[in-house]
Structure 1
Amino acid sequence: MRRFFNKLVTGVMVATMAFTALAPVTTMAAEASFDCDHPAISRYFTKEPTCTEDGTYDKICSICGVTLEKGLTYKALGHSYTEATTENGKVKNLLCERCGKSIDFTPTKDEKSCKHDNVITVNAKNPDCENDGYSGDEICTDCGKVITAGSTLTHTGHNFIKGSIIEEETCTTDGKCYYYCDNCGEKKIVTIPASHKWNEGTITLAPTTTTEGKKEFKCTVCGATKTETLAKLSTGTTIPGKDDKKPSTSTTPSTPGKDDKKDSDAIPIKETLSKVGTKYTVGGNKYTVTKAGEEVRFSKANAKKKSITIPATIKVGGVSYKVTEVGANAFKNNKKVKKVVIGANVSKIAEKAFNKCPNIKTVVIKSTKLTKKTASKKCFSKVNKKMVIKVSKKSKKTYAKIFKGFKVR
């Protein structure tokens, strides 16, 4: 244990040392108490070398931290002329990137006869989040001609990602959160607007073809309420999809008579909402009401679509319905569909819901409400053998058992 601890401490210490000529370190290395044959040697600078002056360093083992030799000389780095000033397409001065020394450029060859065999790039600068960069100029070090002028490299801007929360927002007060730039590390504080967490709402007054309805929502946190107006029902209850050639027909919700108009506020909800069994067509898919004003079953898929999404809810005539089931034979003989997304409110999938779908390859299940009693591998009958069922990480273990025999990821 002690040996492991010594190695760990030494590793952390050595990792922070400067192993290049540009990074001086002033802390002495600690010697380890375990046997080491010193397979990796590193420089430990006690004096930083410059362009014109030598530096000094010690040789240490980067594994155990033992100092092997002290006071060794590291030769001066010399100037690094990677920047230049130009005038009329020719180099005028060269600048050292380390110390900033400037020297006049003296050509060694005539520009007309020079073949430009020695070309370097100067003045290159990488862009950062806020400042543009420069690709650099290509110059000939023999005659000083600017072979190719550089161009501006546009800065990318910050890429802020969400960090730690400073203060949680509530229903009535704003919160605060840190955001960090993934590129440069700059941080900023972002206000998180206050917001209620509304439930799905309850219809307190059902809409009719002549009167608007009302729906009340309640905050699940603080209990505050709000009311929304529901639009009047249209004359027909079917909503044709874009791909339907002919609109399907369905039972029309009951409408109050002339003598009921004055007392519309007193109309019982059950009498104005569509009855169980009423059929709707939305987006080319067919739905059947299973609970008046609240829930529907996905009963028949659009046979022309390659990708079909069973939504969490649908809205018909101002009334929202949860899609809680996928009916038997909903996708029977559907040879077009390749991908299906099942919404978060689905709690039941009937046997053979996906029956004879040879080309279906992916089924994404967003719902976490399925159980062994409400779904099984029998939901998929005669489907593509390579079909993959994608679920949330939370549901993977449970759904792998429910749909045993299929690939669940």
Structure 2
Amino acid sequence: MKKKNKKLRKISSIMAVIYSATLLWTGQASKNEKVIYGADEGKIKIEYQQQDINEIPDKYNTGTKGKLNKFNPVFNSAINYYTITAKNSKDEDVTLYLKLSGDEVTYYVDFSYAENKKLSGEIILSNIDFGECSLKPNKEDNITDNISLVYKNCRFEYVSTSYPDSKLKSKFYNCSFYNFKGSNAYFERCAFGGKPNDALNPFRNVEVKDCYFSNMNHYLPKDTHVDGTQIYGYAELIRDENGDPILDAKGKRQYINPLDAKNIKFDNCRYEIPNIVYEIRPEDIVKDEEPKVATINACLMVQLEYSAGYDIHFSNCILNGGGYTIYSHAGRIGTLSDISFDNIKVGAGRSYGVIYPDIDPDTKINNLNATDSLYIGSAFKENGILKLSVTNDTARDRKLKVITDKGENIFTIKAGPTDKTLNTPGYETFDNMPFDILKQVPGDPKYAVCFDVTDPNNIKQIRFFNETKEEVYIDKFNSSEDNVLLSGKCGFKNADVSFTLTNDYVLTIYGNGDMDNYHSGNIPPWWGYRDFIKKVVIEDGVTCVGAFSFWDCFALEEVVLADSVKQINGKAFKNCITLSEINIADDVKVIEEAFVGAFKYAVANGLYQNEENNNTSDSKASNTVKNNTSVDKKDTIKINKKQIKVGSIIKDKKTGFVYKVTSVKKGYKLKLIKCTKKSKIIKVKGKVKIDGVNFKVTSIGKKAFRTNKNAKVIYIYKGITNISKGAFKKCKKLKKVVVKNKKFTKKYLRKRGLSKKVKYVIAK
């Protein structure tokens, strides 16, 4: 019984570590849980985190290692086959029989040959450099039992497999590729890249785990389409008797027999593919012509061109680069469904934006965050020296602090590339990029705790190396006593507008007049803290939010605007991908593309360019903000056999409330715009059911209560997040307002037209 309890305690301890690490990785832990604290005389106990349990992929822990043997099949003239020796799962020698194709590069494992038909289980090939050769299965319909061709520590240039479903699966462990194209494959700890082409083109039944994609940005003498991963489906090319493609009347290739892209899964993969010019060769330069550049379209591109696609999922990935980092859109033929991007971190190296603007509405993106700290992939020892593979995907220089049993070490890690720093001195080649920089910690330490200490108020534990079985405690970090991190002026043409940034990462703009407009030559003064700013408060007196003011503030979640703000200039909140709450009155002028890239806010609020305003350059934020959520204008719901879409007006006959539809996506949303019944008590609830359909009521319009002049008490329940200016005007008999959202302070309601004579109550 004691042995059993001891075993259970051990399992519980392991599960607790994994659970704590999972919270950190998924973002469920609070700010104070970024480092797991213990109690030992004022010290903190160091715990393992997700990146310790499952290492982030880098160039040291993926791909081939050591000396490889050259691929050298032996020709057997008696049977007209090449042969190569492999191993089975019992470590016994087995022979593969190969046919050489006409290009004298591709070797086919011919499963119609009698000896190959006898193969079963796993056939293992290890430590082989295939060079320019490719090993490809052929005639797989002859396979009667499930077979796996397993490659361990092998190097390839280009690999492809048969496209349909098959009983043959290809498995790759610690292999290196320029490109893989095909189906029925599994990859683990593999490295992709090295030439300017798509690194991976999966068709169906493909799983990719712990893999690294990088170094694809080489120079070519012509424009090149390059993605880290592109999924475009599959169809057979129609060819004539000579094997040449048959073209249609417009000169385009024709395809038949499409196969849906499906069952494709990525987990814990990393992409470093910023768009750069690389290796410009003199022989490729044409006189009086600009050199062409290899172009990156996306880290992850899902664009169905030949067939439909579904059951495609990416999780726990780190992405840095691309024109748009994530592209998900049904192409000219296929449709797209059941696709998700979960728990994705995005670096600053992209050229245009995080998400392609016309993203497919069936794409689900959950927990998308900016990479706001250093991270470490490999941690290993050589000759008593601890080596750390450190990467900086952010746009500012960062500091790494390593605390060991021998002392402390501080390193400065150069800022990562951005759209502004690419193609400038210091970033001409991939090798110049600050990816997987090896930092050495001497002294043969028994343990090392690594922290990003770039900002003393946002210290993050990023790696724990421990050779001992003992618990490790270190001194607590001392936070800065100064509450203000940064302050200064930010007014347009010397307008009296200033700002303060406090150590809780709240940026407050105050004064009188317009904010300044920013651009690449005039960056916002808080630019260096853009990875950390979580809340922006613009106080009464400020009249305009300047262009690009909060551009790339990835951590920005909430914005509070005073009623004095009458205009939001272009791209003010560009790429604020975690912004989910901002109160914009109906009379605020929102310049086109003010919220481009504010993906989470768009999803949360159902904002998009409404067909009523397609021809206007300016639009109200309540229904026409242009951003990266493309909602099909045909999306509708049915109520009493009537098609209801965004902008439709519906009435709840039970209460007399009139609503405007703000979203018809899952969790239909409404804005209360009118109360027609003359009730003395008005209750605005966050959830309503109208004709059998459940809705969420999230906002109250500017004339919502004017039509009910008999109202004496108004209750505003949880779920309501915004009340427009003027909502309470002309409510002359109103005596009391009861709110269940602490955001709606007395001051907030006064600015919405609530008389000072009306009693204000906050209820639980």
TM-score past 0.5 threshold: no
Q: Which TM-score band (shorter chain)? A: 0.3 to 0.5
Larger Cα-atom Rg:
1
Bigger fraction of residues in strand: 2
